Amino acid sequence: MRDGVIAYVGIGANLGDARAAVLRAFDDLGQLPQTRLVARSSLYRSAPVDATGPDFVNAVAAVHTHLTAPDLLAQLQGLERRAGRERPWHHAPRTLDLDLLLHGSARIESDVLTVPHPRWQQRAFVLVPLSEIAPDLVPPGALAAVTSQVIARIP
């Protein structure tokens, strides 16, 4: 693929077989139109932040895509629906959660999408896996600021 952008997607699940859902999401991301998976982090276990339910399995993926940020978001939401994602209340437990963290250098604020993701620098479950695959994107001091959030790499 020529041109296009690198986008980063936060992946999480805490219902059902969360580990399998995150691993399947890596494969599914690589099958999206005009998109290919270029990097994937290790899997991590973390306690819910501003959410309820069991611990999450989290990861971050990098994709090279020709999709616009809104089109990529629509594709991500389609993957969530196919994985059985329901939204009964804000921050409900989920079978799959896909967050568009970064889309190239885009800055977007709309009713349906904010890029960069508004809280990505405040979440260990984003920063730790992102630092594994794209350390240059993690601002200095960001990891130190989230040390109180428990996160562990899954062997």
Would you tell me how many other CB atoms lie within 10 Å of the CB of residue 66? Answer: 15
Task: Name the residue type at position 141.
Answer: G
The question of whether 82 is a catalytic residue gets the answer: no
Dihedral angle computed from the Cα positions of residues 124, 128, 134 and 136, in that order, rounded to the nearest 10 degrees: 70
The question of whether 97 is a catalytic residue gets the answer: yes
The question of whether 94 is a catalytic residue gets the answer: yes
DSSP symbol at 15: S
Among the options 28, 45, 97, 123, which is catalytic?
97
CA distance 153 to 141: 20
Among the options 24, 55, 71, 99, which is catalytic?
99
Among 90, 126, 131, 89, residue whose Cα is nearest residue 10: 126
CA distance 137 to 118: 15
Among the options 40, 45, 85, 123, which is catalytic?
85
Among the options 40, 45, 94, 123, which is catalytic?
94
Among 77, 105, 87, residue whose Cα is nearest residue 8: 105
Residues tagged active-site: 85, 94, 97, 99
